[in-house]
Amino acid sequence: MNKLSLIGLLSLVIRRDLVLAMRRRADVLTTLIFFIIVVSLFPLGVGPEMDMLRKMAPGVIWVAALLASMLSLGRMFSADHLDGTLEQMMLVPQSLSVLVLAKILAHWMVSGLPLVIMAPVLGLQFDMTTQAIGVLIVALLLGTPILSMVGAVGAALTLGLRGGGALVSLLVLPLCIPVLIFGAGAAEAVVSGTSVSSHLSLLGALLVMALIFTPWVTALALRISME
C-alpha cells in the first residue's frame, strides 16, 4: 500500500479546502464584500477631503482587513468539527501541525488573498500614490497570513463553544495589534518619507514567528477542544 507523504498530505488538505470553498462561494464573497463596504463607508462618513483621506487610507484598509478576516475565522474548523472530519484529522499518522498549517494556508488563500488583490482598487478610492499602494500590498501580503495564523489559534480554542464567533474576535483582535501597527505604518512611512523597510522587516519577522509557533499551538488547542 502506498503511504501518503507529508507534502502529499499538505496538498491534499489545501486542495480539499479550496474545492469546498469553491462550492460554498457565498462564504468567500461575504468576507470580500464586507471588506469593500467597510472601506467605502469611510469617505462617505468623513467627507471628501483629499488630504485627510490620503492620510487615513492605510489605517482604514488595515482595520477593515482585520475585521473582515475575523468574519471567516469561525468557519475554519467548525464545519469539520460538526461532521466528524476533525476526529479523522486527529488520527492522521503524520504531524497534526502540518495538517493545521495546510488548513491555515487554504484559509488565507480564500479569505486573505482576495483582500490583498482588492486593496489597490480601494487605495485609488482614497487617492493613494502608486508607491504607497505598492507598499500597502507588500505589507498586506506579509500581514494577512499572520491574521489567519493567529486566528487559527483562537478558532481552535473556541471550537464547540456557544457564541464562539464573538469570543474568537475578542481573543484574536488584541493579538493582531502589532500587525496593524507595522502594516499601516509601512504605507504611512511612504507618505511621510521615512524608512519603509523597518516596518516591513518587522512584519516579516512576525510572519516567520507565527509560521513556526501557531500551527503547533493550534494543534495543541484542537486536541484540548476534542476531549
Partner 1 sequence: MLEISNLACSRGDHLLFSDLNFSLSAGELLQVQGANGSGKTSLLRTLCGFMMPVAGEICWRGQNIRELGDQFYAEMIYLGHLNAIKDELNALENLRIGAGLAGCKVDDKQVIAALRRMGLRGRETLSVKVLSQGQRRRVALARLLLCNASLWILDEPLTALDVGAVELMQDLIGEHLVNNGMVIYTTHQPLEVVGVATRRLTLS
Residue 6, interface with partner 1 (CB under 8 A)? Answer: no
Residue 97, interface with partner 1 (CB under 8 A)? Answer: no
Cα distances from 58 to residues 20, 38, 179, 180, in angstroms, run 32, 13, 13, 10
Residue 87, interface with partner 1 (CB under 8 A)? Answer: yes
Residue 3, interface with partner 1 (CB under 8 A)? Answer: yes
Taking contact as CB under 8 A, which single stretch among the options 89-97, 110-118, 154-162, 164-172 is the one that binds partner 1? 89-97
Interface mask (CB under 8 A) for partner 1, residues 51-80, using x and -? ----------------------------x-
What residues contact 135, with CB distance under 8 A and at least 6 apart? 186, 187, 189, 190, 196, 200
Give the C-alpha separation, 148 to 222, whole Å: 16
Which is closer to partner 1, CB of 92 or CB of 121?
92
Question: Total number of residues binding partner 1 (CB under 8 A)?
Answer: 28
Give the C-alpha separation, 38 to 122, whole Å: 11
Residue 26, interface with partner 1 (CB under 8 A)? Answer: no
Q: Look at residues 171, 119, 170 and name the one whose alpha carbon lies nearest to residue 141.
A: 119
Q: Look at residues 86, 73, 203 and name the one whose alpha carbon lies nearest to residue 151.
A: 73
Neighbouring CB atoms inside 10 A of 20's CB total: 15
Residue 85, interface with partner 1 (CB under 8 A)? Answer: yes
Answer for which of 29, 33, 50, 90 binds partner 1 (CB under 8 A) is 90
Residue 9, interface with partner 1 (CB under 8 A)? Answer: yes
Give the C-alpha separation, 65 to 162, whole Å: 25
Residue 8, interface with partner 1 (CB under 8 A)? Answer: yes
Residue 161, interface with partner 1 (CB under 8 A)? Answer: no
Q: Look at residues 139, 135, 134, 171 and name the one whose alpha carbon lies nearest to residue 152.
A: 171
Which is closer to partner 1, CB of 12 or CB of 208?
12
Which is closer to partner 1, CB of 4 or CB of 208?
4
Residue 2, interface with partner 1 (CB under 8 A)? Answer: yes
Give the C-alpha separation, 209 to 211, whole Å: 5
C-alpha cell at 225: 477542544
The residues of the shown chain that bind partner 1, judged by CB under 8 A, are: 1-4, 8-9, 12, 16, 19-20, 23-24, 79, 82-85, 87-95, 226-227
